[in-house]
Structure 1
Amino acid sequence: MYPLETRELAVEAVAAGFSLTEAAELAGCSRTAVVNWAKAAGVAPPPRKKAVYLPFDRKMELVARLEAGERAADLAAEAGVTAAAVSGWRRRLREEGALSLMTDSDIAARAPEPREAPSELEELRARCEELELRNAVLEGTIDILKKDPGADLSALTAAERAALADRLRGRFGLRAALAALSLPRSTFYDRLAAASAPDPYAALRPLVRAAFEASGGAYGYRRVRAELARGAGAPQRARGAAGLDPARPVAVSEKVVRRIMAEEGLRARAPRAARYSSYAGEEGRAAAPNLLLVDAGRDLHDFSAAAPGEVLVTDITEFRLPDDPRKVYLSPAVDLFDGDVAAFSVGTSPSKALVAEMLAGAVAAAGGGFTLHSDRGWHYRTPDWVRACGEAGVERSMSRKGHSPDNAACEGFFGRLKVEFFHGRDWRGVSAERFAAELAEWIRWYREGRLKAFDEGGRKVYDTIAGRRRRLGLAA
């Protein structure tokens, strides 16, 4: 709230004929406050000054005198305009030429007298020049888009059109080039100015690339931004920074990170390919109910757990290597509390021993007494498996026949694993043993280094699985 003295001084200034801006400066308050106070006091503000439009010759005269050393404020007072207008005319004359200072009537007054109708030879020359311009525009479009002939001009951005117009202006003239590219003159100069301006995020780009590459190409723009926001100390402002400390958090929006990743060609890998199936029929095997199915009619499941080691899901997935005839199989136990890999086993055969090793690791990690959900693969219906689960106090749960969504939580882990670790990498020359070692290292990173989005109290928090458990006091 402003003091009463300020209000009275502002109203008196308006009543004395000062403009609203002058009254605001005099009283040390905002212009909006002066308007409201004057209105409440019944004091009418001074009438707005009428806009002054100077002819082209007068503008050119003022600009010439400004170039000769006279002050913009003095010239503006003489002409009845603002100093900013005079300075703006000089800038536009330098950047856009004399046409930028002309009104439509100025241009019409200076238009040359109509000439005689062009001869047939002149028409032919004009037509040839038009065709040459169209061909040059098409070639430039293909060069920018890196496509075969037939590239569409509409695919070019305004910045790309401005760059192409700049290339063609010397040969065909700026007006013809802009017309052929359907680009307004103002947009052309605006895009050129933006292209020549220094990159405000030059210091941020290497940090974005480093965060993306450290994830093995798995992170999209949201997790890259979350990775940049980690660290100790006060956050650093990214825009306009001369340098950024990788150890300190960086304050930047997801929109900026997404744009930088697009410009740098950093794209997270996309899912593909089907998984290995261990299903081998029903007869002679011990089944179990689906304990995660909440409502069969609506196909609703509960893929959650209230505490670590309460509900786990498992399955087997297969990897094929280009230069090793053996396949590699992974059998994990994924904790539904937070997606942690409680235990896993890797081998070159989808055997009973593979799942037995995984089960022993899960019991050691969770202490037994948990629910373990699987599909209807033959491994999970053998007498050995049923006996081992019973001895450890593990309650068995199974998907319905031919219904893979019943084990969607484990399928989701496999999809993430294939996208972030397996697909898009060159595995030539890699043996099954080396692959198993790299797979184990990725799972360690997945638990301890990979950022994951958690919903905590209605807000999204990025943290690692191991880090969050330590933060919540669930692990040492």
Structure 2
Amino acid sequence: MYSYDDRIRAVRLYIQYDKSAAAVIQELGYPERKTLRYWYKEYLRDNGLKKKFVRSPKYNGAQKEAAVKHYMEHGKCASRTIRALGYPSRALLKQWVTELCPEEKPHCSAGGSLVHLTKEQKEAAVMELCTKDENVQEIASRYQVSRCSIYQWARELLGEGSVSSVPKRNKTEEPKPATIEELQSQVNDLTKQARELKDEVFRLRVERDVLEKAAEVIKKEEGVSLGSLTNREKTDVIDALRNRYRLKTLLSVLQMSKSSYFYQEAAMTAPDKYADVREKIRQAFDESSNRYGYRRIHAALRNESVTVSEKVVRRLMKQDRLTVTSVRKRKYNSYKGEITPAVPNEIKRDFHADAPNQKWLTDITEFSIPAGKVYLSPIIDCFDGLPVAWTIGTSPNADLVNQMLDAAIEALKPGEYPIVHSDRGCHYRWPGWISRMKDAGLIRSMSKKGCSPDNSVCEGFFGRLKNEMFYSRSWQDISIDEFIKILDDYMHWYAEERIKISLGGLSPIQYRRQLGLTA
């Protein structure tokens, strides 16, 4: 069945191409000529097409009554009626019996199909459906099943949507006579397509069996890719499936060379030269109550005069799954307890400011890269989100926040005493921070303990910064100094050039210049 968009596209092309059905079918690949003309008449008659297409009944009343009569007179057996008349499906016959004979109950309960076919027979039926050598009804009759069963097998083997993509045979028009060469070419193409489809189905079956056997033999989790298996694991899977498939087929699916396979076979059958070492490693690991890693295990073996490298110890422990249980490191947290009395929350989640330097927000965020850790401490103005001042360092100490605060105070004009809001981190409760705030006449404000929404604007700034600058690239070969330079450049770009939709497409500095607040 074609959707509304498909039908209206075909009709419009039909009108555009001066009612040339051949041109439309050649471009779209559908529908039949008679169907296209029917859509066009409906389009003219109703000044458009119906959103929903209602199919006319396939069987008339006489056929319906004949099927129900045969069913009632021949033992109320649906399979016998379908084989005798060639129609309808089991579900449709049951519906007709319920409609015409409501007092009768089905004699045969629904217990599945009475015709049991093997998987190979189902695949052969689907292959015949795809090649279109016969119509669906002829295929169903030969296998003694309904048309619905053929389509259901096709959906199971080929996936949803594949059946509708099979080209339909044109029953309304007589085919044009073809030459012997054309017919032979068509036969060769169809044979090739059938062979390719059969090979693809076979390969998919092999891949499915390989994945299932990998989960069974080597205990791989579901969703593992064949490329992630080691050669030893691939060899185990091949050995488990050698009695079902040829070695060449399995090597091709697993993308493994023949020489690598026989090398692994020889290695697995050879005696383990590290058998004694494995036993000593396990003994040392057990004696340490599963606390020793490979370095300490290596030291224990060395004390026992066992000569073996650290890499071998690490590999053997990995193979024997001797791992040390460790606790994941906690993320950076500046809270060190209530070291000084906390101040009230003066902001109270009202982050709106009518002028610059009325409400400031501050916090510290951490960047962990392979070269080390870097910390950023900015002050954000609630008026337009401008980073008033910031410091970048490799240690979240008092100097990091104090230098930032000194730089922000120098930017204040006479008579400006903003509220400085922060979390309850220790940096904002040490004497250096408190004395600077008091000397400058600034008002302290703190969030509740563990309540990040109280400082959500600053947290949002960190989120945008990391999404735009940090998470989008790899920092594998970047040094600490290079990262600090990149981060500082981003902060300048954020303040001077990065546009904000809330500021009318201007950056914070450009917005202030437009208002005449800065030069």
Q: Shorter-chain TM-score: what band?
A: 0.3 to 0.5
**What TM-score, normalized to structure 2?**
0.42
When Rg is computed on C-alpha atoms for both structures, the one with the higher figure is 2
Higher relative strand content: 1
TM-score by length of 1: 0.46
